[in-house]
A and B are shown apart, each in its own frame.
Chain A
Amino acid sequence: MTEEDDIDGLAAEYVLGSLSPTERAEVEARRGSDAALATAIEAWQARLGPLSEQAPGLEPPSHLFGRILTRIALQSGTARRSVVPFRGGQAHQRRLATLVSALAACLALALVWFEHAQPPPPGNEPTSVSCGTRYKDFWEQFDQQKYARISAEQLAGLSRMALRAYDACEAGDDQDARSLFDRLRRMQF
C-alpha cells in the first residue's frame, strides 16, 4: 500500500506526532483541500486525544498569564470592534444606553447647528484612535502591575468599566471617559 492510498495511516501518524517535518508540513498543506484526510484526522484526534489526560502537569512560570493578557490587549486594541459587540449583560445595556444618549445629544446639537449655521464643536468628532489607545494603555499598564493580585470578579468588574470608558470616549463623551479612565488608574488592590 502506498502513502497515497493509506490516508488513514497517514492521519493516524499525523495525530500521533511521528511524521517527519516534511511529511507533517505536507499533511497540513493537504488537509484543507482533501476532505477524506481532514475527516480521518478528526477521527484520530477523537481516538487518541484522551491520552492527553494521562500526561502529568507542570506548573508554568507565574508571569506567563500576564504576558498572554498583554498580548491579547494589544490585539483587541487594534481589532476592538470584533470583541466589543459580543460582550453581553449589563455592560452591553450600559453601552447601549450611552450610545442612545450620545445619539440624542448629537441630534439636538445638529438641530442647533442647522438653525445657527455654525460649525460643529470639535468635541463631537469621533476620536477612535485616541479612545483605542487609551483603552490599550490602560490594559498594558494594568496587566504588568496588578494582574496577579486581583480576583476573577474584580477583573470582570474592571473589564466592564474599561469598556464603559472606551464606549463613552467613542461616543464623544470625553468628560465621562476621562473620569472613568482616571478612576480605573487610581484603583488599588
Chain B
Amino acid sequence: MPVSRQDLVAALRQTARGDRAAFRLLYEATSLKLYGIVVRILGRRELADEVLQEVYIRVWQRAGDFDASSGSPITWLAAIARNLALDEVRRKTPRSLDEFPEVLQLPSEDDPAAAHERSEELKRLEACLDGLEPDKKELVLFVYHYGLTREEISRRINRPVATVKTWLRRSLAQLRDCLGQ
C-alpha cells in the first residue's frame, strides 16, 4: 500500500497517543518491508513471526520516541526490526551457510517501482557504495541484509577473519568519508 512519509509520521504520532486505527495503518503500510528484513536475517519463518510481533509491540510502546527531524519513519522502524532480529539470531546456534543465497537479491535500480521508493539519503549512499571495489560493496550489502558475522563471512569466502574485519572497517570508513556526515 503506497503511503507517504508524511502519512507514516502522522501514524506514528497517533500511535504514540494510543490510537489503534493509526497503528493498524502503520502495520499495513510497513509490515511487508519489516517482515522481509527479519526473514532475511533470521532465515526461518517461524522465528521471524515471533520477532515481527516483538517489533510492533515495541513500536506501539515507543512510537513517542520517533523524531521526524532525525530520519525517515521507515528507517526508524527498520532499525528496530534489524536490532531485534540480530539479537535473536545471535542467541541461536550458528547458522548453516547453506541458509544464505549465493548472490544478494535486491531490486534492480532500473526497476521503476524501486526507483520511486528510493529516498535522497539512499541515493547518496548508493553513489558512495559505487565508489567501493565491487566485491567490497557486495560484502557490505550482504552483511547488512543477511546479518552475517565476520566469522560467517570468513567461512563463506574462505578468508581469515582478520582480513574480513580489515575489509569491512576500511569500506565503512570510506563510506563515512564519502557521505561527509
Partner-B contacts on A (CB < 8 A): 6, 8-9, 12-13, 16-21, 24-25, 43-61, 64-65, 67-69, 71-72, 75-76, 83-84, 86-88, 152-153, 155-156, 159
Contact = CB atoms under 8 A, between A and B. Distances in A.
Given A51-B122, A54-B122, A68-B57, 13 more contacts: A13-B168, A13-B172, A24-B90, A49-B72, A49-B76, A50-B72, A51-B125, A55-B37, A60-B32, A60-B35, A60-B52, A61-B49, A159-B21
Contact of A18 (B24, B52, B153, B176): B153
B48 to A, nearest CB: 8
B136 interface: no
Given A48-B125, A58-B32, A16 B168 contact: yes
B94 to A, nearest CB: 9
B39 interface: yes
B149 interface: yes
Nearest to A54: B106
B57 A47 contact: no
A45 B18 CA distance: 27
A84 B17 CA distance: 9
Q: Which of A68, A153, A159 has most chain B Cβ within 10 Å?
A: A68
Nearest to B31: A60
A115 to B, nearest CB: 42
Contact of A55 (B36, B56, B70): B36
A69 B31 CA distance: 14
B176 A12 contact: yes
A47 B117 CA distance: 18
B18 A68 contact: no
Given A49-B75, A58-B35, A86-B17, A17 B82 contact: yes
A46 B71 contact: yes
Nearest to A162: B20
Contacts of A21: 90-91, 149
Contacts of A84: 18
Contact of A51 (B39, B56, B144): B144
